[in-house]
């Protein structure tokens, strides 16, 4: 019997059933015993190498997008509708490091005013002019802040770098796709080198991953019930564990 893994996030659960079990790999690092001979790549070879590097980045972006979407969905669980906030710079700020410093100062100002109970998930985006701005979901801010912002410009004052746009949301899971679009775009942007593709507060809920047959049997019954029906199913080959059967469920609503 192969390895099984269950990932639970928000009102969703994904079950992975592999053909083979996990193996234990041992061995030390191999050291080269000779000095490599430098080579000069032709234009065609250089292009191929660049395509391979790009392919790896795109694969990494795909995996990062899946993990990020699970994070967002973990917090879009129907308990509270988040506020969508966009923070822009009036000046053409292209340095993401400085942009993140401004965002951190904004969060610190919010905590000074409202405490630490609110939470957020934020992604950067580079505008056509090159300037960085942020899209963020906030949970736990005062209810009246959306209605009063147009008159008071309170959040804009705390931001202090440009403009602040607020939008009420219905908390629908489609918001995860909205943020993932920007996160994946930023992940592949050259300006993101050595920078984070998103930031999230520590009090955000995280996806739960459980591996092992016994644990999964208990969790499946607790979260899904014996009569659970998958709303999506797919089978594909993996490099080390053979075929994988992946099924997606909605968890029980308590």
209 and 196, same domain (yes or no): no
Q: If the chain, 254 residues long, is cut into consecutive pieces of 10 residues, what is the mean pLDDT of each piece?
A: 84 89 55 38 41 52 86 91 95 92 97 95 89 95 90 94 94 91 81 83 91 64 71 90 90 59
Task: Output the domain CATH number for residue 92.
Answer: 3.30.70
186 and 128, same domain (yes or no): yes
Specify the pLDDT at position 218: 62
If phi > 0 it is left, if psi is from -120 to 50 it is alpha, else beta; for residue 158 that is alpha
Number of domains in the chain: 2
If phi > 0 it is left, if psi is from -120 to 50 it is alpha, else beta; for residue 130 that is left
Question: What's the predicted TM-score (pTM) here?
Answer: 0.80
User: Quick check: is 42 in a domain?
Assistant: no
Specify the pLDDT at position 102: 97
146 and 161, same domain (yes or no): yes
131 and 180, same domain (yes or no): yes
Distance CA 251, CA 253 (A): 6
Distance CA 116, CA 108 (A): 9
Specify the pLDDT at position 250: 85
Specify the pLDDT at position 205: 93
User: Which neighbouring-strand residues pair with 103?
Assistant: none
If phi > 0 it is left, if psi is from -120 to 50 it is alpha, else beta; for residue 13 that is beta
Distance CA 143, CA 168 (A): 10
The structure tokens listed for 13 are: 């659960």
Specify the pLDDT at position 176: 92
- What Rg value do the Cα atoms of the chain yield, rounded? 23
* Residue among 251, 254, 190, 253 at smallest CA distance from 220: 251
- Report the relative pairing of strands 232-237 and 12-18 from DSSP bridges: unpaired
User: Quick check: is 53 in a domain?
Assistant: no
Specify the pLDDT at position 215: 54
User: Quick check: is 215 in a domain?
Assistant: yes
DSSP per-residue letters across 114-182? H-S--EEEEEEEE-TTS-EEEEEEEESS-TTHHHHHHHH-HHHHHH-SS-EEEEE----THHHHHHHHH
Which domain does 245 fall in, by range? 1-22+62-77+205-254
Distance CA 228, CA 247 (A): 11
């Amino acid at each position: 019997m192969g390895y099984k893994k269950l990932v639970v996030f928000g009102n969703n659960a994904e079950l992975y059933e592999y053909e083979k079990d996990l193996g234990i790999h041992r061995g030390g690092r191999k050291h080269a015993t000779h000095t490599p001979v430098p080579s000069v790549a032709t234009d065609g070879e250089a292009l191929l190498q660049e395509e391979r590097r790009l392919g790896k980045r795109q694969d990494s972006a795909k995996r990062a997008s899946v993990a990020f979407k699970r994070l967002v969905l973990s917090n879009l669980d129907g308990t509270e509708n988040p506020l969508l906030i966009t923070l822009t710079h009036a000046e053409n700020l292209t340095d993401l490091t400085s942009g993140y410093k401004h965002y951190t100062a904004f969060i610190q100002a919010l905590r000074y005013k409202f405490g630490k109970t609110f939470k957020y998930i934020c992604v950067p985006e580079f505008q056509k002019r090159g300037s960085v701005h942020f899209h963020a979901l906030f949970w736990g801010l005062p209810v009246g802040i959306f209605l009063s912002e147009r008159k008071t410009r309170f959040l804009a004052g705390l931001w202090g770098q440009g403009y602040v746009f607020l939008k009420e949301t219905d908390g629908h899971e489609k918001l995860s796709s909205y943020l993932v679009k920007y996160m994946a775009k930023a992940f592949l942007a050259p300006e993101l080198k050595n920078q984070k593709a998103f930031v999230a507060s520590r009090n955000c809920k995280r996806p739960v991953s459980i591996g092992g047959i016994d644990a999964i049997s208990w969790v499946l019954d607790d979260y899904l019930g014996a009569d659970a029906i998958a709303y999506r199913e797919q089978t594909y080959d993996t490099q080390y564990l053979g075929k994988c059967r992946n099924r997606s469920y909605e968890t029980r609503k308590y």
